[in-house]
Amino acid sequence: MIAELLASRIRDVPDYPKPGIVFKDITPLLADPKTFRAMTGEFTRHAREARATKVVGLEARGFILAAPVAVEAELGFIPVRKAGKLPGAVYAVSYALEYGEATLEIHRDSFQPGDRVLIVDDVLATGGTAAAAVEAVRRGGAEPVGVSVLLELGFLSGRARLAADAPGVPVTALLRV
């Protein structure tokens, strides 16, 4: 089963990057081409089912997951980056972290009218990052048609935060813990 294969290639790293956090390390999955391909196939199916016309990846691990989906589905890849990294004119969306604030940016000319966007990332935790990405896509004039993640940390209720902050966008997780 795909879920078991994916789960077997994600490594828990306790107390990283700080005490009390269990970091979900996807580097074993990325190093295994069979599993990487299986994951890409699942996300590509999401993109097709949502009739997406663009794939957005979130810096940094989201880039690695989303780019092969864009190629496989023959859709454009659009990066959503941390503040100050994109060279052109951007829309910036700030959101609250546990301590402080973060900002995501997207190029203003990323989309054409009518674009439908699948957002791809590795982990859905509190949902703040994904909600900001949805907002960035909307600011860019496109329709977010889905958020697809490899792993949802259910105990952090990211799905509920997304439903509240960015309503109307279906969330799909290949795995949930």
Site residues for ligand AMP per CB under 6 A = 21-24, 58, 61, 121-130, 158
> Which CB sits closer to ligand AMP, 53 or 78?
78
What are the phi and psi torsion angles at 25 (to 5°)? -90, 115
Tokens of 145: 């048609």
Shortest Cβ 174–ligand AMP spacing (Å): 14
> Which CB sits closer to ligand AMP, 3 or 22?
22
Beta carbons of 127 and 159 less than 8 angstroms apart:
yes
Specify whether 98 is catalytic: yes
Shortest Cβ 19–ligand AMP spacing (Å): 13
The CA distance from 151 to 26, in Å, is: 10
What three-state secondary structure class fits 93?
A: strand
Catalytic pick among 9, 42, 61, 152: 61
CA-nearest of 14, 119, 133, 127 to 69 is 119
The CA distance from 25 to 95, in Å, is: 24
> Which CB sits closer to ligand AMP, 47 or 65?
65
Shortest Cβ 126–ligand AMP spacing (Å): 3
The CA distance from 175 to 156, in Å, is: 14
User: Residue 129, CB half-sphere, CA atoms under 13 Å: how many?
Assistant: 24
Shortest Cβ 32–ligand AMP spacing (Å): 18
CA 31 from chain centre, in angstroms, equals 19
Residue 58: strand pairing partners: 80
> Which CB sits closer to ligand AMP, 27 or 112?
27
Catalytic residue positions, numbered: 61, 98
